[in-house]
Structure 1
Amino acid sequence: MLSESNKNRLEQMVREHQFEHALGYLQESVRQGIRWSKKEMEDYSESGVSRIGGDSDLPSSVEWPLDSEGTPMTFLAQLRLSELAAQDESSLLPKEGMLYFFVGVDEPAYNIEHKVLYLRDEELKEAYRRMTPEETSQEENFKGYKLKARSSIEPPNYGYVDYELLEDEEHDYEQYEELCFELTEADSDDLAVMFGYPATQHGDCEYEAALQMLTGATYNYSVQDAMKQITAHLKGDVHKAEQEVRDTLLLLALDSDQDVGFCWWDAGELQFFIRKDDLLSGDFSHTYCSLYSS
């Protein structure tokens, strides 16, 4: 749900771009997100800050996550949640602590081995720079950058937008992209987003993630089949099944980035999903990771 300031900004931008015919649709469909952009390269002079790539800050009591072959997973990012207090207008995240993201081998592009760790501030007192193991699941060595967060308005992308409600004789998708660019305040240093729309061609990422997290089944690219399995798992409760899909959230999307060294297949996006109930309870042990590449 958008904050009041972002609601006003959305309406202003829509009117400036003459998309008033789609204002109601956009008010219902935009998401309150958080964007992360690169700052300077990490010099590790300060521990416990938000960082992407490089080395992590972990206490010695936390074992480095391993993949199914026993190889250390690759560290991707650590996000200091107190830095998000003013940006998380949806109030979904814990107010303190740190989130860590690790990934295994990114093949195939679905149900990718990964680990999301959540440590509270009390546990972070013992954190120190943990050098990345020489061999990890990803062959690349990612460079570390400090991060800066900002609140964002996330409109539906090409995989999710309703073209019939958006386009008319005077407006096309190219004009909509210009509106989206201004709404998100997109920047070349942006490389991660939380709670927005995942990059995809088919708008079905939440069905894939919900199906696996709830039932353990693999998505066969049929929304109908996924809903049947989710509904059966929930003892035939269709409304609860639909709500589960709606409450499957994009916890983090990591874009490919030449500076850091991220390149997800053909310059794609790595995506982490979580159930809203788990997020609100601070449980990050049951998430889903997939990859989109054009």
Structure 2
Amino acid sequence: MRKASRVDSLIRSKLENIESPFAEFAAANLRRTTKLTFSPPTEPVAVTASRTGNTAAVTPNHPWPVDSAGNPMQHLAQLNLAELPAREELPAEGLLQFFVAVDDHMGTTNGADPNYRGSVVRYIPAAELETAAAETHDHPKSIFTIDQFRITGTLYDQAPQYDDYQFSAVAEQAGIYTEEEDFLDSIGFYDDEDFEDLDEEDALEEYGWLDPVDALEDVTDHYAQLFLGGWTQHPQQDPRNYLHDENSRYFNPHFHTQDMQLLLQLASATGIDIGHDGILHFFIGDKDLANLDFSTPLYSFSAH
């Protein structure tokens, strides 16, 4: 975690100044999402509550999912839609659950096995919840170092994030440069003596960061745990850049006629260990979402 510094205050003041090019651009391109907050529970968590950890709700029609080898998957998150802010794209009730395979690739694949099943997203209708029971599967490779979290949600209008795959196109249309150095110049990032002669070694020693884009994202409307929509953050490349690349593990013609949006972004945090500051993403096509068809999500995992 990078410590606060006078540079943080400088950047924040620039972004809050509506005359700055980035502030105008950000204000014009806010995206609605739901910010998720994870808190260790202070009392027992209901079976169908919004939660993370190794326990989740199952019903006769929705038993615990298994991977392609028949092994129980790891439960990542269970979202009770009645407990979260209403979103017009989704029902007002029911559960959305997210699972991944427990293997060395954390549910991803290199594309060599077309039958590989590494992730599951499913919707359990509210009518089934009366028959729901709690089931637990502990995994030695679980990403959770705290047994479980209670999840709450807040509607959130998020500013653009630099590594989202749509940032470049939107920024170019708005006249904001997208080459790293030019982009930072365009928002006045370096227009202060604090930034003069600040090489990477000095930056790491004094401020705890190397990449100025990372520093910038730390003081924008950056939030790592997100549900449905918004701008995404990526330690590596946004996988949506590779949907048409036949050599990519993300290639899938099913996605080629759809607008892929974020369904869930889950990032490393206290009690959540996803590789080295890693992030998990589940994306869904707009047509699939309209049909409440969660059978073909785009799932990715990346870390620094």
1:72 positional shift: 0.3
Unmatched tracts of structure 2, length 5 or more? 1-12, 110-116, 168-177, 191-211
1:105 aligns with 2:102: yes
Deviation per CA, 1:32-54, whole angstroms, max 9, x where unpaired?
11111123326435231111113
TM-score (norm 2): 0.68
Cα deviation code 1:106-139 (max 9, x no counterpart): 5447447111110110011111211x23558748
Equivalent in 123, 128, 135 of residue 128 of structure 2: 123
Paired residues of 2:54 and 2:137 also in contact (CA < 8 A): no
Asked if the contact 1:52–1:77 (Cα under 8 Å) also holds between the matched residues in 2, the reply is yes
Q: Which amino acid aligns with 1:248?
A: M
Name the CA distance, whole Å, in 1 between partners of 2:144 and 2:49: 23
Letter of the structure 1 residue corresponding to residue 163 of structure 2: G
- Alpha-carbon distance change, 138 to 201 in structure 1, aligned in 2, over 3 angstroms: closer
**2:248 alignment counterpart:** 219
What secondary structure does 1:252 align onto? Answer: strand
Which string of whole-angstrom CA distances, capped at 9 and with x for unpartnered residues, describes residues 168-207 of structure 1?
2733556843651xx35x5xxx644432333225654213
Mapping of residues 192-231 of structure 1, within 5 Å: 192-200=226-234, 204-208=238-242, 210-211=243-244, 217-219=246-248
Q: Distance in 2 between matches of 1:271 and 1:116?
A: 12
Determine helix, strand or coil for the equivalent of 1:273. strand
Shift of 1:71: 0.8
Instruction: Tell me whether 1:255 sits opposite 2:291 in the alignment.
Output: no
1:26/1:53 Cα in 2 relative to 1: closer, same or farther (>3 Å)? same
Cα distance in 1 for residues equivalent to 2:141 and 2:15? 48
Cα separation, partners in 2 of 1:272 and 1:107, compared to 1, 3 Å: farther
Q: Amino acid of the residue matched to residue 217 of structure 2?
A: E
CA change 1:46–1:64 in 2 (3 A) is: closer
* Contact preservation (8 Å) 2:236, 2:302: no
Match of 1:277, SS state, is helix
| CA shift for structure 1 position 22 | 3.2
Work out whether residues 30 and 153 of structure 1, in 8 Å CA contact, stay in contact via their aligned partners in 2: yes
Q: For 2:279, which of 269, 272, 291 is the aligned residue?
A: 269
Determine the structure 1 residue equivalent to 2:119.
114
Q: Does 2:301 match 1:291?
A: yes
Distance 1:202 1:95 in 2: 34
8 A contact 1:73–1:136 mirrored in 2: no
Does residue 149 (structure 1) correspond to residue 153 (structure 2)? The answer is yes
Corresponding residue number in structure 2 for 1:4? none
Aligned to 1:93: 90
SS in 2 for 1:84: coil
| Aligned residues of 1:74 and 1:136 also touching (Cα < 8 A) | no
Equivalent position of 1:170 in the other structure: 188
CA deviations on 1:79-117 (whole Å, 9 max, x unpaired) are: 01122344x3xx222222110111103544744711111
Where 1:82 maps in the other structure, the secondary structure is coil
Paired-residue identity, %:
24
**Contact 2:234 2:279 (C-alpha < 8 Å) held by counterparts:** no
Q: Which has the larger radius of gyration?
A: 2
Counterpart amino acid of 2:265? A
CA distance in 2, matches of 1:85, 1:139: 26
Matches within 5 A, 1:60-79: 60-79=60-79
Cα contact 2:263–2:283 (8 A) shared by 1: yes
1:275 Cα deviation from its structure 2 partner: 0.6
Q: TM-score of the superposition, structure 1-length normalised?
A: 0.70
Gaps of 5+ in 1: 1-12, 235-239
